[in-house]
A and B are shown apart, each in its own frame.
Chain A
């Protein structure tokens, strides 16, 4: 099955003579540009322009235009702590979400009764808005009556309810957990459809060759879905760098700054400390990270299209 891409050509191109004969705007060379113009204008005004303006904010210092904000940023230990928190958060989310997504999709790649039901149930965490997800996690982790603590008590040695949101490490685990829980269905559903696209003949041939389950996984399944896994890793990275609402509502970036990743850091600088100019500098870093990730996505996609 061919992978359709962002830039697939399905153009219907009438012959040159037909095009020349057709008069008016619709047949003209400008027509495609007129079609995209409204969307382009909106994106330029509300996405591209604010990015540029944010970058300008960051250069606007009390001493005139300059790189002072960046100099401050590079020697600011808070900035580097934020970068470390962002890396810990995003990398954990990527690894855990792919591990859960892949094992779940392998588990479900099998025709059983009620698979449709399980698929639909899987969609639920993904469809619930972030605000109710945050509310539910805060309730489940409450130190005095949270149900999660009740489960934890089953483990030997646990006699006290941990203060989930007051301990830096635990708070980080909580925001990673909530982000993974809300996001994983997408990854397992996409991987499931990738698994279902692996030709059954390959497995049949492997059985004839007496390849074991593990060998089948290693030499057939894994190579067939490698491209999809790579793309999903990039998407999971982007998903976790975008995460603001869950972190903000569950921990508020705390305790102190233990769960302050990129998005909450920008928000905090802009709206807690009203330092738009420094917030702009951090936003430029965020833009850079997101641009590099998008570039990786495009390159991976190109590679998937060209057969090796």
Chain B
């Protein structure tokens, strides 16, 4: 359809209408994001009046100043970064060999392993949250950020395995066969041939793992009880339920917490699409 249209010079009425519709729809869709940002930079009185003005009367960043001076957000973000980084490391260690075995080796049980991954990927976290807490209590792993990262890893590796498998699949067979004939063994093929060719896939997997952990709330809220170990999603949820947090500070916290995931997800959008559909749909 698109190819037919590019030929004409002047936009037709239908195209103009379509453009206008896209504009209106985008505005509606984007409105909550706009509102979150605007509420964080306008005077509080404006947000609390009704009807609230759509455009901010004046812009001030004092909410961000107040957020970073009065609330331990810097600490929360730091701990979230720590847990998320551990999750990325754990994920890469587990997922590189597994995705390689799924993509390029032939072995009995591969289909069963693929199915197991799919089942764990689709499983609601709530199904296991109580037994996981019981297990972690027995092991003395509650209030332990390393153990939280391990749990985040377990829940993100299935998705990451699909994303990386799709990257490995795209490496031409001929290159791998040539390396095998030249005397590389499979371990060397993986490290010297396949991995350097799949850097975008590795980046995508790292981003997915990082923000799966960064955004996660259910496990964090059940396994972490000490205030000084709060990650950002946990801290933010507490700010929300504490009624004494000024509204604009809460919104500033929301914006601060969202900036990184939004930027990175935009960058890896295509890879993510492919992985989330378990390779069934070309992204």
Contacts and interface: CB of A to CB of B under 8 A. Distances in A.
Contacts of A26: 185-187
A48 B128 CA distance: 9
Given A127-B258, A244-B125, A121 B30 contact: yes
Interface in A123-162: 123-140, 144-145, 147, 149-150, 153, 161
Contacts of A11: 104-106
B269 A123 contact: yes
Interface stretch (B21-29, B63-71, B198-206): B21-29
B52 interface: yes
Interface in B65-92: none
A189 B185 CA distance: 40
Contacts of B264: 127
A186 interface: yes
B8 to A, nearest CB: 11
A147 B95 contact: no
Contacts of A123: 262, 265-266, 269
A89 interface: no
Given A104-B25, A128-B258, A283 B48 contact: no
Interface stretch (A50-58, A65-73, A75-83): A50-58
A217 B4 CA distance: 16
B116 A135 contact: no
A295 to B, nearest CB: 9
Interface string B143-159: 00000001101110110
Interface residues of B, number: 117
B257 A132 contact: yes
Contacts of B261: 127-129
A135 B246 CA distance: 13
A91 interface: no
Nearest to B176: A12
Contact of B4 (A200, A262, A263): A200
Given A132-B255, A147-B51, A32 B105 contact: yes
B129 A266 contact: yes
B80 to A, nearest CB: 10
A40 interface: yes
B224 interface: no
Contacts of B97: 34-36, 38-39
**4 nearest CB pairs, A to B:** A150-B51, A132-B254, A127-B265, A263-B126
26 contacts: A13-B106, A14-B180, A27-B185, A32-B105, A33-B107, A38-B97, A40-B113, A40-B116, A46-B154, A47-B128, A53-B135, A107-B25, A112-B19, A123-B269, A132-B257, A136-B251, A139-B47, A145-B50, A181-B29, A238-B122, A263-B125, A270-B133, A286-B126, A287-B123, A294-B118, A298-B118
Interface of B: 1-6, 15, 18-19, 21-22, 25-26, 29-30, 32-33, 35-36, 39, 47-52, 54, 93-95, 97-98, 100-107, 109-111, 113-120, 122-135, 150-151, 153-155, 157-158, 161-162, 166, 168-169, 173, 176-177, 180, 185-187, 211, 214-215, 217-218, 222, 233, 236-237, 240, 247, 250-251, 253-255, 257-258, 261-262, 264-266, 269, 273, 276-283
Interface of A: 1, 3-14, 18, 22, 24, 26-27, 29, 31-36, 38-40, 42-43, 45-51, 53-54, 57, 104, 107-112, 118-140, 144-145, 147, 149-150, 153, 161, 181, 186, 189-190, 193-194, 196-197, 200, 203-204, 207, 228, 231-232, 235, 238, 241-242, 244-245, 249, 262-264, 266-267, 270-271, 276, 279-280, 283, 286-287, 290-291, 293-294, 297-298, 301, 304
Given A112-B19, A132-B255, A235-B277, 9 more contacts: A32-B107, A46-B128, A120-B269, A129-B215, A181-B29, A244-B218, A276-B130, A280-B130, A298-B118
